[in-house]
Amino acid sequence: MANKALQESQFEQMLIASAEKCGWRYLPADQIDREMNDVLVAPWLKEALVNLNPITAEQAEQVIYKLRTLLISVPQEHLVQNNNKFRKMLFEENSYPFGEDGQNINIRFFDEQNMDNNYCVVTNQWMYPRASKDGGKRLDLVFIINGIPVVVGEVKNPFRPDTNWGQAAQDIVSYQKSITEMFVPNILNFACDGHDFRYGGIGLPAEKWGPWFDTEDRDHSDLKALLACYEHLMNPARLWDIYRYYSVFTADTQGRAIKVVCRYQQYLGGDAIVQ
């Protein structure tokens, strides 16, 4: 890994390969069937809803339509609230009158018992809005579970002294203002420059993003150790766990809505208690 000719695109591919080791499958962005302005990959989500629930394709479309109401023209100042509402629609406010005689049933968006049964895709150079000539942004890495984009990652060249993870994090912070809708379903985001790997929830300033470690040894000493931490966080089951149980919505001292995603030590400690 000491090859100084390593380019940003090659490092991006390295992160994709590591993601494939921990449960993701890779698809190029141009092979993903989605509408230009659609945050969701609707065909994947529709298939998942039908497979996971006793509903028809038409009923699945009704569920998707309801989710989309939170993804249309989202003001940047409403991102955290919409992110919270979207999460509630997945896990709490997920009752629909699709049962016998119109009885309400709870709709599942993920197979919580076996994450291998979910369609977990990592893609790169994702354009949103797709094919847009004005205002579209190109995202380095996007992670999608059952058609719902849940993580955005930005990458910087490990061997360029004028770039680092902080600039990658700041890129994502800027994207949250210019393409706000893309981050409504978001669990977390990450930035990586080959020397450091940091992550943060939506709305968190780049300077407050924190590292993730897979053990209390807190090792980012080389690329191998860094990739091990990256693979630990990016495991689909762990991300789902963070989404469901380790994310808190509250307000700051000025009353503004904020999202708090657990630090690695909180997750490791909580997991140890559960075990």
pLDDT in tens, the chain (275 residues): 344 445 778 889 999 999 999 999 999 999 999 988 899 999 999 999 999 999 999 999 999 999 999 998 888 889 999 999 999 999 999 999 999 888 999 999 999 999 899 999 999 999 998 765 565 899 999 999 999 999 999 999 877 777 789 999 999 999 999 999 999 999 999 999 988 999 999 999 999 999 999 888 887 888 899 999 999 999 999 999 999 999 999 998 888 899 999 999 999 888 777 66
3-state secondary structure 63-81: HHHHHHCCCCCCCHHHHHH
Question: Which helix (H) or strand (E) covers residue 83, if one does?
Answer: helix 79-91
Question: Which helix (H) or strand (E) covers residue 149, if one does?
Answer: strand 148-155
User: Please, what's the b/e burial string for 229-252 (b: 16 or more CB within 10 A of its CB; e: otherwise)?
Assistant: bbbbbbbbebbbbbbeebbebeee
Q: List, in order, residues 6 or more apart from 267 with CB less than 8 Å away.
A: 238, 241, 242, 246
Partners of 257 in the beta sheet? 251
pLDDT value, residue 2:
41
In degrees and rounded to multiples of 5, residue 28 shows phi and psi of -60, 150
pLDDT value, residue 85:
96
DSSP category for residue 62: H
Closest CA to 212 of 193, 194, 227: 227
Tokens of 186: 């978001």
pTM more than 0.85: yes
Q: Is 145 helix (H, G, I), strand (E, B) or coil?
A: strand
